[in-house]
Amino acid sequence: MSDTQTMVRTQIAIDDSSFFLAQGQDVDELQRRIEAASEAGGRFVSFVVLGNRRVTALFTPHSRVIFSVETVQNDPRDTGDAADPFGGFFDD
């Protein structure tokens, strides 16, 4: 028996870019905001990605958006708190 903790990680692919969403992101609500932006002809939508960093993307009626979900090993740093980023140039 394994004591490995897991978490669900959601990936969003927007046209040719993809991001893993931070924990705590409401995927259903994000999908509704993207749909509304597309229906309005295009709007910017912000969300927090892995590393607790905020991303803002322009969604239009021509944007291709795909969500995928997987189970991965738990990363306790992935809190969804954009005020506490990790990874990249600033990670110890």
| Domain extent listing, the chain | 6-74
What is the rounded CA–CA span in Å between residue 88 and residue 65? 25
Residues 6+ apart with CB under 8 A from 54: 46, 47, 48, 82
In this prediction the pTM is 0.81
**Mean pLDDT of residues grouped by 10 in the chain (92 residues)?**
84 96 94 98 96 95 96 87 74 43
Residue 91's pLDDT is 45
Residue 36's pLDDT is 98
